[in-house]
Amino acid sequence: MEQTTENIYKFGIIGCGLMGREFASSVARWCHLAEMDVKPEIVAVCDSNPDILKWYTNNFDSIEQVTSDYKELLSNDNVDAVYIAVPHNLHQEFYCAAIEAGKHLLGEKPFGIDKAANDVITECINKHPGVFVRCSSESPFFPALQKVGKMIEEDVFGAILEVNSGFLHSSDMDFSKPINWKRMLKFNGEYGCMGDLGMHALHMPFKAGLIPKNVRAILSNVVEERPDGKGGMAKCETWDNATLFCETVETKSGNEFPMTIKTQRIAPGNKNTWYLEIIGTKTSVKWSSKQLNTLEILEYTGGEQAWQVIDMGHEMAYKSITGGIFEAGFSDSILQMWAAFLYELNHGKPISKFAGCVTPAEVALSHKLFTASLESQKNSSVVNI
Ligand SMILES: NC(=O)c1ccc[n+]([C@@H]2O[C@H](COP(=O)([O-])OP(=O)(O)OC[C@H]3O[C@@H](n4cnc5c(N)ncnc54)[C@H](O)[C@@H]3O)[C@@H](O)[C@H]2O)c1
């Protein structure tokens, strides 16, 4: 239970909106982690909107630098690492500048507005091997998914028959909701909902070495215009919903099977649902964030086929002070992701395979898949990856 704080990494946050606050809140409750020998401290914040920075300075005495210029923050020698959570059109410029300044980086997905931007970021990472870079994606840190990760490592599934993974929400169901940057091509990119939600759906399959060989994608633009918030209407050009049908190879066994990846912003009945199903000849699992702490497992040993329903407790990858029987939630998964980033930065590897953040190679693969999906939609074709 004793927490040592030998290694402190001084952080700057660039982009202090929705996700910037989640990181700051994780820093504030770092004492929740029982056995960490490394700790973040926020010393600098940057956002082009000065109003939102007051929440940070009101809550964090450690902040020494407040700026609207990200270059100013990156030239601060007291900053060791940065979290960057800005609109997608800024990823390439900001991430490369951070890496070139020698700052360790946790960057938000999709890690570049398109494949060309991601290729430039990847090249920059390769030129600076001393800088630790990972992509943000918190969903696999829920206890049920950590258990699935262990099951994958223990090879319990037999031959995998099918994998279904997705992220469905409905924050665009209200057609009268004014447009924001996440629905504009210029800021969000051509990927649309895939860029927003795709990395979350791909995180577990990619860590498991389940690699799409090709894709047939069906993308839908359901809402073509939205109120512009100024009394007029604005074009809403990004893809709202995507279903990707992938012929997939399990790298370990060479077995092939179908995998569907769904990312939807207009999914009636789903506020923010992430799900994963792995169907195998020996073992199958089903999980949905609708019942965050429930894992369904079917083990076939001959005889009846019965689904077991398991209540997960607070079985976190990075030990927490919370009692083992208590439920986990969204902010716990964010705290765990940050524990994973700092643990790997400090120790050179994650505490276990599925308790690691998304790597640059996994991100690059997601860009290949999304780019192939755009081509597949355009030509109604199956596209090799
Ligand atoms: N991991 C997740 O679960 C998750 C959830 C939502 C969003 N995201 C990702 O996080 C990133 C940011 O999304 P968000 O929801 O926090 O958006 P947001 O709009 O709430 O925050 C973005 C912030 O960037 C600031 N900004 C814009 N231009 C800037 C500039 N030139 N210099 C400095 N600051 C600037 C904005 O003022 C805003 O405060 C995106 O990449 C998005 O895909 C991740």
Give me the average pLDDT of each 10-residue run along the chain (385 residues).
70 98 98 96 98 98 98 98 98 98 98 98 98 97 98 97 96 87 92 97 98 98 90 91 98 95 96 97 98 97 95 96 94 98 97 97 98 98 98
Sequence length of the chain is 385
Separation of 88 CA from ligand 1 center, angstroms?
A: 8
CA 284–ligand 1 middle distance (angstroms):
37
Sign of CA dihedral 345, 346, 352, 355: negative
Q: Among 3.10.20.30, 3.30.360.10, 1.10.3720.10, 3.40.50.300, what is the CATH number of 140-323+358-384?
A: 3.30.360.10
Task: Please state the atom number of ligand 1 nearest to the C-alpha of residue 88.
Answer: 41
Among 167, 159, 201, which Cα is nearest to 365's?
A: 201
Helix H or strand E segment including 42 = strand 38-46
What residue segments make up the domains of the chain, in order of their start? 7-135, 140-323+358-384
Per CATH, the architecture of 7-135 is what?
3-Layer(aba) Sandwich (3.40)
Distance 370 CA to ligand 1 centre (A): 21
pTM beyond 0.85: the answer is yes
Q: In the β-sheet with 160-169, what is the strand arrangement from edge to edge?
A: 307-311, 294-299, 283-288, 272-280, 160-169, 256-264, 241-250, 210-220, 383-384
**Which residues have C-beta atoms less than 6 Å from ligand 1?**
14-19, 46-49, 52, 70, 85-88, 90, 108-109, 136, 138, 196
Tell me which residue has its CA closest to atom 32 in ligand 1: 48
State the pLDDT at residue 1: 44
- The pLDDT score that the predictor gives to residue 2 is 47
Cα separations in angstroms, 359 against 20, 69, 175: 20, 28, 36
Partners of residue 351 on adjacent β-strands: none
